Structure 1
């Protein structure tokens, strides 16, 4: 399933007079008649264009927005809060909310790592960081002032939890809806919540397909996560977004249109530490 995040071909640069170049994600809309530019509270630019516009036409539309962007961006940049460590990380599927704490130097983290449920170690040059999972906490030791390193540690821990929790959840939903349990893998996808691949016709029906989920799906509220899983399960039967596919999805997920919009919104509202490195606003 394609997420709102852009592929490299679906971006438009906006060079400002001060030398900074902003990059907008392009979204296509069947209802759009003229382009429009918006900026999210996190600073991500989105250029909405008619569905049939070629990329070159989207780039030609950019200069029309530059006067507005030149006026608006300095005020926005000044008001935008700087990233900081999250107070907590919520995993709705697991029913867990873990407080994030800075807990001491690297030596203390190493001493306490033996009793931790999970340990993540990261380094960048001379900077080192250790993340320890407790029953209700994620404790960071070492270079806690390096927010990029902290984000990497939180993301790596979440990906490990996603690999443990998401595959059995997908297979449980598959059985509940009459699908053969698919293979499920967890990936660090930068532009999708998930995707599906199906065996060729030459392969026996005993191999139902392979669903790939973004580890960030573990951060979704349960209704959105369950809908995402059903969306990909339906692709095991139809590898398109045709009317027949939508009818199959509506059977499993009656509020599918509202939930699809919810997934798009959830991508835009990902916490800064979970953003893909090349995502607008990252």
Structure 2
């Protein structure tokens, strides 16, 4: 495998069964590393320049117990299909397929109705949630901005894997669009967290004092994300 090549995915047997491995060659990495992707459930093995695939397999099999334990802790992946469910603002909504309707996707009486062909349900639900995020998250950020006077230079939504939000040195705030599936209290905390970075680009005592002035939901939100954050990554495909 040559560094810079397209990552390959394959099924590999280990002591506990079979796992899906995604190989990632890297010119920057200095050693072989391994992690579990909470979205796909794949074991990601990074190979630095000159490393052999056999070395990666040795690492995988030497830590097969850790891999098996990590995979067992991943939440199940719900199917975005008729009778399945999805979260919006922390509320669980059953998906109802309406093949003959001509309304696209709409929320009614606690159910998310999806028109069109059955094979497009997952795609349409994902698009609906992203569209909701584009409207709701910036609006909720603007609301808190109006209350506290901390104004970002820009607001962007992305599909991030490890961060729910970030604030750059030039004052731009990024939010993970998947937050729209979390309760509004969680959204409020993440938005407050990033707004506080506009004044304190660190996690020192003054930063946390400001966060706690901006939102009463810090402890509750951190607990919820610890318990349910991985589910948001697995609920909707990237």
**TM-score normalized by structure 1?**
0.54
Aligned to 1:9: none
**TM-score normalized by structure 2?**
0.62
Is structure 2 residue 128 aligned with structure 1 residue 133?
no
CA contact (8 A) 2:134 2:177 kept: yes
CA contact (8 A) 2:180 2:187 kept: yes
Aligned to 1:91: 88
What displacement does 1:215 show?
1.6
Aligned to 1:173: 144
The structure, 1 or 2, with the larger RCO (C-alpha pairs under 8 Å, 6+ apart) is: 1
Candidates 176, 180, 190, aligned match of 1:214: 176
Alpha carbons of structure 1 residues 63 and 247: separation in structure 2 relative to 1, 3 Å: farther
Taking the aligned partners of 1:273 and 1:71, their CA distance within structure 2 comes to 21
Aligned to 2:13: 16
Candidates 92, 95, 103, aligned match of 2:98: 103
Aligned to 2:64: 66
Q: Which moved more, 1:265-274 or 1:80-89?
A: 80-89
Is structure 2 residue 193 aligned with structure 1 residue 196?
no
Taking the aligned partners of 2:107 and 2:229, their CA distance within structure 1 comes to 28
Give the aligned CA root-mean-square deviation in angstroms.
4.2
Alpha carbons of structure 1 residues 71 and 100: separation in structure 2 relative to 1, 3 Å: closer
CA contact (8 A) 2:156 2:173 kept: yes
CA contact (8 A) 1:89 1:99 kept: yes
What displacement does 1:248 show?
2.5
Aligned to 2:196: 234
Taking the aligned partners of 2:78 and 2:182, their CA distance within structure 1 comes to 24
SS at match of 1:270: helix
Q: Which moved more, 1:249-258 or 1:212-221?
A: 249-258
What displacement does 1:156 show?
1.0
Task: In structure 2, list runs of 5 or more residues that go unmatched.
Answer: 1-9, 23-34, 44-55
CA contact (8 A) 2:152 2:195 kept: no
Give the aligned length: 197
Taking the aligned partners of 2:175 and 2:95, their CA distance within structure 1 comes to 25
Taking the aligned partners of 2:78 and 2:149, their CA distance within structure 1 comes to 47
Taking the aligned partners of 2:77 and 2:189, their CA distance within structure 1 comes to 32
